[in-house]
Amino acid sequence: MEALEINKDMLHKLIDSIPNEKLPKAYELFIDLLDEDDEKLTEDELAEIDQAIDDLKNSETYSFEEVFKDLLKE
């Protein structure tokens, strides 16, 4: 499977689209990413990543709320 090339500009645009009231949660997510050890991904996680790449290639997009709906309930 061909990997999607992601760059910082893409992430900056995504961050710029986050509503101000959700910035604290986004901050926590980024901090968690930076604090992670080099954990191996499970087969399920790898399958989810493959699905996400396929969705992007097919121009199937999801809103911030759809992607993080479970985390935003906290």
Backbone angles phi, psi at 7, to 5 degrees: -125, 170
31/45 Cα distance (integer angstroms): 20
Give, as one character, the DSSP assignment of residue 21: G
63/28 Cα distance (integer angstroms): 19
**Tens digits of pLDDT across the chain (74 residues):** 556 788 888 888 888 898 888 888 888 888 888 776 666 778 898 888 888 888 878 888 778 888 788 777 76
∠ CA 42-45-46, rounded to 5°: 90
